[in-house]
Protein backbone atom coordinates (compact mmCIF):
# COMPACT_ATOMS: atom_id res chain seq x y z
CA UNK A 1 0.00 0.00 0.00
CA UNK A 2 1.22 3.49 -0.79
CA UNK A 3 0.07 6.63 1.00
CA UNK A 4 0.38 9.61 -1.35
CA UNK A 5 1.06 12.84 0.56
CA UNK A 6 1.23 15.11 -2.50
CA UNK A 7 -1.52 17.44 -1.28
CA UNK A 8 -0.68 17.18 2.43
CA UNK A 9 0.98 20.15 4.10
CA UNK A 10 0.70 19.09 7.76
CA UNK A 11 0.43 15.86 9.74
CA UNK A 12 -0.78 15.95 13.36
CA UNK A 13 0.11 13.47 16.08
CA UNK A 14 -3.27 11.80 15.53
CA UNK A 15 -2.41 11.38 11.85
CA UNK A 16 0.98 9.91 12.75
CA UNK A 17 -0.68 7.44 15.11
CA UNK A 18 -3.16 6.37 12.42
CA UNK A 19 -0.34 5.85 9.89
CA UNK A 20 1.64 3.84 12.44
CA UNK A 21 -1.33 1.63 13.32
CA UNK A 22 -2.14 0.91 9.67
CA UNK A 23 1.52 0.36 8.82
CA UNK A 24 2.01 -2.14 11.65
CA UNK A 25 -1.10 -4.10 10.59
CA UNK A 26 0.07 -4.21 6.99
CA UNK A 27 3.55 -5.36 8.05
CA UNK A 28 2.03 -8.03 10.31
CA UNK A 29 0.25 -9.38 7.24
CA UNK A 30 3.61 -9.47 5.40
CA UNK A 31 2.72 -6.40 3.33
CA UNK A 32 4.50 -3.10 3.00
CA UNK A 33 3.35 0.47 3.52
CA UNK A 34 5.17 3.12 1.52
CA UNK A 35 5.03 6.89 1.89
CA UNK A 36 5.22 8.98 -1.26
CA UNK A 37 5.48 12.61 -2.35
CA UNK A 38 6.28 13.99 1.10
CA UNK A 39 6.43 17.77 1.14
CA UNK A 40 9.22 19.43 3.12
CA UNK A 41 7.27 20.01 6.37
CA UNK A 42 5.63 16.59 6.29
CA UNK A 43 8.96 14.91 5.54
CA UNK A 44 10.59 16.68 8.51
CA UNK A 45 7.74 15.49 10.76
CA UNK A 46 8.11 11.92 9.46
CA UNK A 47 11.87 12.04 10.03
CA UNK A 48 11.51 13.36 13.58
CA UNK A 49 8.97 10.62 14.35
CA UNK A 50 11.35 8.03 12.79
CA UNK A 51 8.72 6.97 10.24
CA UNK A 52 11.32 7.18 7.48
CA UNK A 53 13.14 4.31 9.19
CA UNK A 54 9.94 2.26 9.58
CA UNK A 55 8.46 2.70 6.12
CA UNK A 56 10.04 3.19 2.70
CA UNK A 57 9.79 6.73 1.33
CA UNK A 58 9.42 7.41 -2.40
CA UNK A 59 9.65 10.62 -4.42
CA UNK A 60 6.31 9.86 -6.11
CA UNK A 61 3.54 7.30 -6.15
CA UNK A 62 4.72 6.22 -9.60
CA UNK A 63 8.18 5.49 -8.17
CA UNK A 64 6.64 3.50 -5.31
CA UNK A 65 4.65 1.34 -7.72
CA UNK A 66 7.57 0.49 -10.05
CA UNK A 67 8.58 -3.18 -9.95
CA UNK A 68 11.66 -3.82 -7.86
Q: What is the pLDDT of residues 22-65, one digit of tens each?
A: 999 999 999 999 999 999 999 999 999 999 999 999 999 999 99
In this prediction, residue 49 carries a pLDDT of 96
Q: Number of folded domains in the chain?
A: 1
Question: Measuring CA to CA, which residue among 46, 5, 3 is closest to residue 22?
Answer: 3
Q: For the residues 1-13, what does the mean pLDDT come to?
A: 96
d(CA 41, CA 12): 11
Q: Which domain holds residue 7?
A: 2-65
CATH number of the domain within which 35 lies:
3.30.750.24
Query: How many C-alpha atoms does 35 have within 13 Å on its Cβ side?
Result: 23
Q: For the residues 6-18, what does the mean pLDDT come to?
A: 97
Distances (CA, A) of 60 to 24, 30, 63: 22, 23, 5
**What's the predicted TM-score (pTM) here?**
0.90
Amino acid sequence: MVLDFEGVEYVSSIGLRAILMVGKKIQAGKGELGLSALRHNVKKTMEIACFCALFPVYESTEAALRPR
